[in-house]
Amino acid sequence: MKYKMTYRLMGYFSAALLSFSVIAGVLFWSLFTWHTAGLHEKQLKARAVSIAETLSQLSRQKNRGRGMSGGYGAYLRFLDDIAMSEVWLADENARTIQTCRKHTSLSYGELPPGAEDLIKQVFEGNVVSNREFTPVLDAPSITVGAPIYDTEGTVTQALLLHSPVTGINSAQR
């Protein structure tokens, strides 16, 4: 009888310890994912704003008669190499997106449903992010959009930076 009570207490203690461990593990995993994705998104937003400001300055120089005659082409290819992200430029009037890495264009119709809303918010002057472009990019990713302004201060294009989040998944494992 004495040993039966001991085994029962050890079983309850083990079950409680196992339950606590599982709950703490799941909580840590979700907090780690949330925090890491948030940091990655914050860094991506800062990078997108910096690139958009530079493209706005290049646009102003081009409009004043100095600088690039053929557009952003070489600069974007350079950015695509060093930005650690895929760089796209969206044009609201033509409703097309110029991709830099693949040197192709996409129409708005090829985008997933939530992606067009992100582009619309960028053309309103906001810096926004989402994860709606995952089907287009064939990998889980965070997308950040930043506006590019002309000399009058109106938004002429939307810069989209896509960064894969595969590193977060490997860090979780």
pLDDT tens track for 59-114: 776 655 444 444 566 676 677 666 667 788 888 775 677 776 656 677 777 777 77
Question: How buried is residue 173: exposed, middle or buried, by Cβ count under 10 Å (0-12/13-18/19+)?
Answer: exposed
Q: Output the average pLDDT for the chain.
A: 78
- In this prediction the pTM is 0.71
